[in-house]
Structure 1
């Protein structure tokens, strides 16, 4: 993605949770406790985690982790407030190397010649690791197809690779940004960046390591990287800690050049605590500029920690990092 343009199972689980709540609720005649309402409404109140966004003309397309019967979810908007969820799978067929069932964190990009790319995470059948693949389409709504017989990024000895996104320079040079999945097997998690070929199908040269988990709030991992440029500085957004609870949060690091060195912001820029509990475990963030306004897209948990819905909020810039409205 040019960052300068800068499901059903969850619903079923939620229904079960509601039913169980009814069965285990107050005794007959007792007043039911008043639920604590969320103060931050979802733009998509359903499971739509790890959003990756792409601005194409007067629309924004958001791609998300799999849902039952769908490898990649897709929604779009013309105003950043009202989102139309597609009933079509953006990536209807997985490549031969991928095992179905774990397709997540899609990162879109606009290529030359009216083509579009979607970099996704899936399980590599041969190694059992999560790895990054590439798919292509002539329409941002897809369908995307992935003809490669092997993953694009699959460092098996580093735990595999996940959470790819694309940064595009002014001259059109594109770079893939991803995380080695070291937390799968007791290894460090590094954010990497590496140049992409002009057609987006291959990597060029060597990868550069940018940051790894070093701060107490980050727990045992960093992931979900996105790089943007702002006011002459490169800004790396990332998520850290355990995605399954409210400790998950979004951090930022800045650098004078794309390849670093990056200096981490002091603490997360968005967390359960910093938002006053409005967002539970906010992460998987992306940033786009649409119609002159900077927007952050991210997911957070619902109150019952059953599904991760989509939030879309305006951001302002303070101290060189984006600060979302909370």
Structure 2
């Protein structure tokens, strides 16, 4: 608790304990103390559920996923992936952006091995693709060897166009928006969440939950959408809330949450705190708010352990009576009928 990074007082506290503890032969081994959610452990230890632990994510995926946070890069990548391979002319027709901008993004995707660039030879007479080469050097070599098009012209005289092909690396990151899952884990780890306390893509029958997180004994359930989160998503998500009963239900959308969704949850009032993250830039701040709430409750519970030490069981009436000279053997009260009566002080 307190200002981030300001833990020097903890270091001083530990240092001050070294000497007295050593006198009793106690070694000074310190480690983070973290409570565990029993519901999370039930999910993690279930034999009929399939999931991926965050600790199993390849380190390369963390770096690669950063490049897909750019929506325009993601849009281009999705078009190429869905097409399997696509000619540059066809790609530019499908993109709603300036060609210079798209060419820059494509160059970056090639540099980071998300897509590869090949060259297709197209017959000018029939418009059919007659051959494909890996580079322009290969094309020059084919022309030098005298390879002809079916129409009889040298292939060097035919139209040559770039062809973009998705790599297995890109397909992995885009399948089920895996890149978004990796970005979530990256942020959770930065907030000191242990990777083994993060379950990803948990499947139970036909149902699939994007992520469960055990944060100091508090269960968080995440729904990730690389699109707008609509009412069509809200109804099944509401069912999962009732089924798994998390403490926090967090919706992360890369393209906002429909206002009707917020009205729906405000109306049904599920017994859970729902958090909306409407773009990835909001994610660090939203996680910080959630963790602050969890830590605040945890800190209060720790502090409450000291309450019995601070409660003093005294009779204020006896102390004050003695101070102002009241006879402690008996006192006089005035009842509602206007008569006096006496009663002993117990």
- TM-score past 0.5 threshold: no
Say which structure is richer in helix: 2
TM-score with structure 1 length normalisation? 0.24
Say which structure is richer in strand: 1
**Looking at CA atoms only, which structure, 1 or 2, has the larger radius of gyration?**
2
TM-score with structure 2 length normalisation? 0.23
